Amino acid sequence: MTAPESQLATHPWHDTTRSVADRVDLLLREMTLEEKIAQLGSRWLRKDLHEEEAEPIFAPDHNVAPMQDVFSAGDLPLDEASRHGLGHLTRVYGSAPVTAVDGAAELVRQHHVVLDAHRLRIPALVHEECLTGFTTYGATVYPAAIAWGATFSPDLVERMAAAIGRDMAAVGVHQGLSPVLDVVRDYRWGRVEETMGEDPYLVSMLGAAYVRGLQSAGVIATLKHFAGYSASRGARNHGPVSMGRRELIDVILPPFETAVATAAAGSVMNSYADVDGVPAGADRWLLTDVLRDDWGFTGTVVSDYWAVPFLASMHRIAADDAEAGALALAAGIDVELPDTIGYGAALLASVRSGAVSEDLVDRAARRLLTQKVELGLLDPSWTPEGSVALAEGVELDSADNRALALEIAERSIVLLDPGSVLPLRDVSRVAVVGPCAAEPRTFMGCYAFPNHVLPRHPGLGLGVDVPTAVDALRAELSEVDIVHAVGCDIQGDDRSGFAAAVSAARSADVCVAFVGDIAGLFAHGTSGEGCDAPDLRLPGVQADLLAELVATGTPVVVVVVSGRPYALGDLHGRAAALVQAFMPGEEGGAAIAGVLSGRVQPSGKLPVQIPRSPGAQPGTYLQPPLGAETTDISSLDPAPLFPFGHGRSYTTFTVDDLRLSATEVPTDGEFTVSVRVRNTGSRAGDEVVQLYLHDVVAQVVRPVKQLTGFARVGLAPGGSADVHFRVHADRTAFTDRDLRRIVEAGDIDVHVGTSAADLPCHATVRLVGPTRVVGHDRRLDTPADVEPAPGDAGP
């Protein structure tokens, strides 16, 4: 049933000729306190389709959010939960395996329940997850975010996000809970796979590109997890963060700030973690002083799932859910997800008693209602049916989507070391072994629907076609005899399959061993949310399997399919080749096979380092001298096996001819760094030229080197191009002892090359003039221009 147009048209806030602000003001003046508070809540019907027709499906072994089974107890029916209105509908498509058409029908049903339950008939905003694509049954599974990092390709990430957004918008989704902008600080953390790497600038550029792409389709992007979540002690999920404010400002916050400043991100989600004892969900400095007052953010802050009651039950800074709700609202959380606990009756009582100001309720309600007006939900023409009008014709795993997923996967594969056998040529028999060779779910992250929801529906398969690695190699090497043996499981200590794998390797010209991760949730995997690792040894007995394979004398190509980097020091020099594939999505098998055969020219670069030993923690490249350099003051060698930014190809490149537009620049000036990159090999290929800066002497300890710019350059054999980086002095800014962000005079070392450890070009620029205090209006990026070198036909 649809609300009559005449009924909607009687209210002045439906008048589209008025400004958004006027319409919101008119609506707020009409609303009761109960109705305003209701807009700050949400409802998650965690059952298969119709709530009244199904049994609950979540238990501790099937949670898709932390402590979901606990918080789902005592849920209200949707009509009762919507008696005064409702802010959000949670994961209508992402909680159970429904087709787009069936999900749309259920969404229409839920919309009508919400509209019919209260007098003002304000529609709810609909949100879903989209970390590796739209998290719903049958939708394209793109590579995980760590693979986006390996592409060093913001334009490609933006195209992917736009495709994801179009699919979500077609079925009536308004908000996507992505991108994750956490900067990796410890590789053992389970959610490394959801990040774009360990460098703030790389994450900033790719994250802002994702936001632009998703929001170009009319879907609000949600930046998460704000902030500090990735730096927990011991890499424990939700663990406390021991981090000073300077590190938080200089390393953790820049991707969020960049997405707000350059991509106008519409929403932010708080982190579960506490930083120095203050949980993000109750941190007014973070959520209001920084995010809104300093950065000018005007969107909504939504809670991570159950982060509001966690303030009482987990952080224990509140006595009960009512106090938790009051703390979160005062700090700046506008909407509680995925269900209403702290922002329900308890908040109403707190306002009625005077313990919480109604102004805080108005502030949050205004922000959410502004988005509803901007999305068209309060236009007279809006109807539940109209919001899903495209659902019947949408192809959630279209040929175009799959082609894009393949392109990203191919560009993300990192050739660590081609060794002596890659690309595979002149082989008649190849043994394909290892637990990741015939398990397609290893290609997908923990928020991909096949790993996120379908484990509790084992009869439904994956919902999308995901060729395995062994099948992809059989298709790629059609004239080669492929023999297959599993060898061992990804987890566990069963070695009973070793003998068959060793026998297969001995009988072959080359052995390709696929090892790595299986993504899951809350200990039901080796990577993913709640799947933290004690060290960086390959899970289970996979390292032992590789040792026995290498001992056969047959050349062994090791392909690591994982969500985090694993220590490969024992293999380097013994394996015939090393390849890193960061959860490359549903087309990952074809991408890897193409790289191994040589049909695909590898061009991925490491967004995280590959450690040498499993206990070298923490090991990200962004370290000061005492954290990065080998000295005689410690017996530990911090050097990685393969550095940040590393990646080989089947051709060769040189980077040289460094030129500076000036060697002395004012502290408010700009200089250009130019280099020439040449393809000196026999094949076309891409190189990622990387610019790093180092502040020689500063008020506080600074990194030995920090990525400041990058450019992907495609060149034909013998081709060359000039890359020009325009570096503003703002790009040298850091947080001083007084917690001001400053640009100070002094020498800046400039390094350009192809990884953090391969930097053949060096120069020094001197900044001169007074120390400048800079703010949110400073330059946040380093534009790079690529042009054909003189006498060259161009890239």
Q: Is 767 left (phi over 0), alpha (psi -120 to 50) or beta?
A: beta
User: Taking a C-beta distance cutoff of 8 angstroms, is the pair 121, 2 a contact?
Assistant: no
Structural Rg of the chain based on CA atoms: 27
Opening angle at CA 25, ends 23 and 27, nearest 5: 70
What pTM does this model have? 0.95
Strands (E) in 230-304, as ranges, are 267-270, 274-275, 278-279, 300-302
Residue 428's pLDDT is: 96
Residue 55's pLDDT is: 39
Task: Tell me whether residue 440 is exposed, middle or buried, using C-beta atoms within 10 angstroms of its C-beta: 0 to 12, 13 to 18, 19 or more.
Answer: buried
End-to-end alpha carbon distance in the chain: 58
User: Taking a C-beta distance cutoff of 8 angstroms, is the pair 16, 378 a contact?
Assistant: no
* Choice among 250, 304, 570, 781 that is catalytic: 304
Residue 474's pLDDT is: 97
Q: How far apart are CA 585 and CA 151, in angstroms?
A: 14
Provide the 10 A C-beta neighbour count for residue 314: 16
Per residue in 84-126, pLDDT (tens digit) is 999 999 999 999 999 999 999 999 999 999 999 999 999 999 9
Residue 727's pLDDT is: 98
User: Taking a C-beta distance cutoff of 8 angstroms, is the pair 66, 238 a contact?
Assistant: yes
Nearest to 759 by CA among 643, 648, 661: 643
For 658, the enclosing helix (H) or strand (E) is strand 653-660
User: Looking at residue 111, what DSSP letter applies?
Assistant: H
Residue 631's pLDDT is: 75
Opening angle at CA 92, ends 211 and 88, nearest 5: 65
Verify whether residue 426 is a known catalytic residue: no
Q: How far apart are CA 505 and CA 508, in angstroms?
A: 5
Question: How far does CA 127 lie from the centroid of its chain?
Answer: 17
User: Taking a C-beta distance cutoff of 8 angstroms, is the pair 517, 526 a contact?
Assistant: yes
Residue 628's pLDDT is: 74
Q: How far apart are CA 605 and CA 600, in angstroms?
A: 15
Q: How far apart are CA 205 and CA 196, in angstroms?
A: 10
Mean model confidence pLDDT for the chain: 93
Collapsing DSSP to helix, strand or coil, 244 comes out as: coil
| Torsion of Cα atoms, 494 then 495 then 501 then 502, to 10° | 170
User: What are the φ/ψ torsions at residue 479 (nearest 5 degrees)?
Assistant: -100, 5
User: What are the φ/ψ torsions at residue 696 (nearest 5 degrees)?
Assistant: -65, -50
**Do you know the residue count of the chain?**
795
Determine the angle formed by the axes of helices 358-374 and 345-353, rounding to 10 degrees: 130
Question: How far does CA 536 lie from the centroid of its chain?
Answer: 21
Helices then strands (H, E): number in the chain?
24, 27
Per residue in 182-231, pLDDT (tens digit) is 999 999 999 999 999 999 999 999 999 999 999 999 999 999 999 999 99
Per residue in 556-584, pLDDT (tens digit) is 999 999 999 999 999 999 999 999 999 99
Question: How far does CA 205 lie from the centroid of its chain?
Answer: 12
User: Taking a C-beta distance cutoff of 8 angstroms, is the pair 739, 245 a contact?
Assistant: yes
User: Taking a C-beta distance cutoff of 8 angstroms, is the pair 213, 161 a contact?
Assistant: yes
Q: How far apart are CA 68 and CA 60, in angstroms?
A: 8
Nearest to 661 by CA among 672, 675, 646, 674: 672
Nearest to 517 by CA among 614, 577, 583: 583
**612 is written with which tokens?**
């040498």
Low-confidence ranges of the chain (pLDDT < 50): 1-8, 47-59, 73, 794-795
Cα–Cα distances in Å, from 405 out to 93, 397, 443, 516?
21, 10, 12, 21
Provide the 10 A C-beta neighbour count for residue 547: 13
Residue 71's pLDDT is: 55
